[in-house]
Amino acid sequence: MNPMNPEPKSAAENKAPAAAAGATLKYLPTIGLEIHAELKTTTKMFCGCLNNPDEEHPNYNVCPICMGHPGTLPVINKQAVKHVLKMGTAVGGTLADFTEFDRKNYFYPDIPKGYQISQYKFPLVTGGSLAGVELTRVHLEEDTATSKHDQGDFSQVDFNRAGVPLMELVTEPVIHSAEQAADFAKELQTLLRYLGAGDANMEKGEMRVEANISVALADENPAKGLDVPAKKFGTKVEVKNLNSFRAAERAITYEIARHIDLLERGEKIIQETRGWDENSQKTFSQRVKEDSHDYRYFPDPDLPKLKLSEAPEFSKENLKKELPELPWEKRARLKNDFGLKDDDADMFVKNEMYGKFFDLVVKNVDLNKNKEVTKKAITLAANYIASDVAGFIKNTDIKNIPVSNEAFAKLMLMLAEGKLSSRAGKDILKIMFEKGGDPEAIVNEHGLMQKNDEGELKTIIEKILAEYPNVVADYKNGKESALMFFVGQGMKATKGSANPELLKKITIEAIH
């Protein structure tokens, strides 16, 4: 075997170029994503029909415009334009000044006009980056109707979705692993939610990921790592029907392995569109792509061209002002200001309600004067929310828990001040999750307050020492474990409410 070309790595190993920088990897996978997201607006993209993704009655939110009747006139939805411009601002892209909508002509039963209104030459947003991935463009178009093929010989079409505003985001071919692709999609989902632009549930089809995958023979290039020159990209395959992050990650992993396998056997990769089969966990050929689909794009003559600088509400300053704290800003804040671990920070960012709860708790804890206790309480809060609270909540919404952020903050402060043992903290939290209430009241009711009264503990310890003179002698003869025996007895005598550190100290003092 040629030492410069070691055994091909499995698809899973053959991932991050960073890990491979300087090494001689034989294959470099490249992925570019095209992601569609339905936007949250009151009405559809070009008509006054309600945009209600939860409407269950088929063909309920329809009108002649979204049904594509001839002679109707579409009107641009400002709210949808704004969502995309905000997205563009968040990712640092260039916002178009001049923009227009184009007709993308093709026939399908779910597109009754015979064309989809989309954007071609003048997308609303060009460039920008997200999660370290450069973006090509973000544009606005309309969703199609949905077809159902589960009625025997018939197919049915539901037009509720026809004309719903749809954002399309295209990345540059710069992703090099399935995991990175999934991370990117997750960050986009989080961003859409933060911007209030969409719910982006993949399972509901509100966000749809298409992955373009190619595998190239990579030269060793220590300076640039494994950056393959554009003309040497492998043949790309597009994979559709990815209905979850897991499906996206698995399909990409599968495709990379399939390409490497074909290349190993000296076979050619066919440029085609493939689907993902959830049952077999495999991709399958759907259609071989003709060179370039001729959609005969042309500007829609029914819609006005837009000059965005003429709309003050779309000015860069205005859009910037309206941005919330962005996911990556929040991640950095949680880590820098409160020393949160990466995983906890990421959980609070992705799970917006957890993050909000944490922020409210911090606000309450911050009212405390003792800075050291405050700091301790915040760290405790992060740990408790990420593990214990998450465990209690399971599938209910954190909005509906009976524990108020004030009560939770109070509990964290009591723990930080050493008034409660961590065992008692967990017991109290459990009670709070069952029936709400104030932690101090619960503590008093159940006698859970950690005993820090030295005088009281001293009396208890002295009684125990008198009971076990042999163990005292053992300790005096150097048997260290005897000390823990007394602490254990002390905990028992106080029903677990004593501060063990204090018991230890008092025992040592009492013996000497």
Binding residues for ligand ADP (CB under 6 A)? 30-34, 170-173, 212-214, 233, 236
- Kindly state the smallest distance separating residue 280's Cβ from ligand ADP, in Å: 24
Q: Which is nearer to ligand ADP, 255 or 346 (CB)?
A: 255
> Minimal CA–CA distance to 173: which of 234, 240, 102?
234
Q: Which is nearer to Zn ion, 63 or 431 (CB)?
A: 63
According to DSSP H, which parts of 21-95 are helical?
78-90
**Rounded to the nearest 10 degrees, what angle do helices 352-365 and 405-416 cross at?**
60
- Kindly state the smallest distance separating residue 101's Cβ from ligand ADP, in Å: 19
Pick one of Zn ion, ligand ADP, none as the site partner of residue 66 (Cβ within 5 to 8 A by kind).
Zn ion
Other CB atoms within 10 Å distance of the CB of residue 394: 6
The CA dihedral of 269, 273, 274, 275, to the nearest 10 degrees, is 170
Other CB atoms within 10 Å distance of the CB of residue 386: 20
- Kindly state the smallest distance separating residue 30's Cβ from ligand ADP, in Å: 4
Pick one of ligand ADP, Zn ion, none as the site partner of residue 171 (Cβ within 5 to 8 A by kind).
ligand ADP
- Kindly state the smallest distance separating residue 406's Cβ from ligand ADP, in Å: 48
Measured in whole angstroms, the distance separating CA 161 from the mean position of its chain's CA atoms is 25
- Which residues of this chain interact with Zn ion, rule CB under 5 A? 47, 49, 63, 65-66
Pick one of Zn ion, ligand ADP, none as the site partner of residue 173 (Cβ within 5 to 8 A by kind).
ligand ADP
Pick one of Zn ion, ligand ADP, none as the site partner of residue 236 (Cβ within 5 to 8 A by kind).
ligand ADP
Pick one of Zn ion, ligand ADP, none as the site partner of residue 47 (Cβ within 5 to 8 A by kind).
Zn ion
Other CB atoms within 10 Å distance of the CB of residue 490: 23
Give the integer Cα–Cα distance in Å for 370 and 196.
38
Give the integer Cα–Cα distance in Å for 120 and 133.
22
Q: Which is nearer to Zn ion, 65 or 306 (CB)?
A: 65
Closest residue to ligand ADP using C-beta atoms: 32
- Kindly state the smallest distance separating residue 331's Cβ from Zn ion, in Å: 40
Q: Which is nearer to ligand ADP, 20 or 211 (CB)?
A: 211
Q: Which is nearer to Zn ion, 46 or 384 (CB)?
A: 46
Q: Which is nearer to Zn ion, 55 or 272 (CB)?
A: 55
> Minimal CA–CA distance to 29: which of 169, 224, 236?
236
Q: What angle is formed at CA 141 by the lines to CA 139 and CA 146, rounded to 5 degrees?
A: 135
> Minimal CA–CA distance to 408: which of 397, 421, 430?
430
